[in-house]
Amino acid sequence: MILKVANEWLRGSNKMERLWLLAKIEFKLRYYENKLGLFWALLKPIMDICIYYIVFKIILKSDIPAFASFLFIGLILWNFFVESTSGTIQILSVKKYLYEYSNMNKIEIYLSTLISNSIGLFFNFLMFCMFYAFLEKESIGLSIHNLWIIPLYINLFILSLGVSLILSNIYIIAKDISQIWAVFISFLFFLSPILYNLKTFKEALPSFDYVNPVAGIIINARHVMMEGKNPDFALMAWDFGYAIFLLLLGISILNKLGSKASEKL
């Protein structure tokens, strides 16, 4: 039923075409004033990986196999979640002109931003695949199991959209939420198995992968991309449950508070 409603909504008024156009414009504008331009979309995750690799592999002597690839897939998914949630907290204020002076629905503004972030994620993911397939010494190669990354991406997209809706609408009545989220996201980074292996993570925080949906998505992404396995279906079901619940909660809050956005912001 949700898919049917979404399909009918997208078909109306060329919404999909408009969303794609807005997403492309936003993606280009993000790097417009930089001399390296769109190259930053590829360079930034590489720089992050280099920093963490030096600290954890060279200085702290981490024994995780294929550590560069391990970091790569974890960081690009994490960065998508952070950019999509932190970057949309003030979206109702920054893009006020879009819903006040056009016939755009507020949720389309969120979708175009997340699609723009997805373009960056797509290029980063291609880089990961090339690195893992051709440069990673401990690679087991690409396989049919890699296709499971598609539902995992959909899961991450829904989760990010739901959290974005909640945070940006709380911002209407409490602007402190942007500072609180910045602290929380730093805390969550170290409560996700991005820098250390799953065994260490589970020993320190038993069952926490079922509490933290971002952790579950990263764990399953490594299963399907680096271990040639199917995802952990129980964990995947929990993560989809979290994402759908947060999305419905976000839409509900948007319906209640979104109409007051132009008055309060």
For the chain, state the CA radius of gyration.
19
The pLDDT of residue 154 is above 90: yes
| Percentage above 70 pLDDT, the chain | 91
Q: Per-residue pLDDT tens for 67-88?
A: 889 989 999 999 999 999 998 8
Average pLDDT, the chain: 86
Whether 116 and 26 have beta carbons less than 8 Å apart is answered as yes
Q: Tell me the pLDDT band of 95, cut-offs 50, 70 and 90.
A: confident
pLDDT of amino acid 12? 55
- pTM for this one? 0.87
Region 182-200 average pLDDT: 88
**Roughly how many angstroms between the first and final C-alpha of the chain, as a whole number?**
35
Q: Is the pLDDT of residue 11 over 70?
A: no
The predicted-structure confidence for 22-70, as pLDDT tens digits, reads as follows 888 888 777 766 666 667 777 777 787 788 888 877 887 778 889 889 9
What is the pLDDT at residue 249? 96
Q: Tell me which of 55 and 114 has the higher pLDDT.
A: 114
Query: Residue written as tokens 């690799």?
Result: 53
User: Of all helices (H) and strands (E), which one includes residue 117?
Assistant: helix 106-130
Burial of 244 (0-12, 13-18, 19+ CB in 10 A): middle
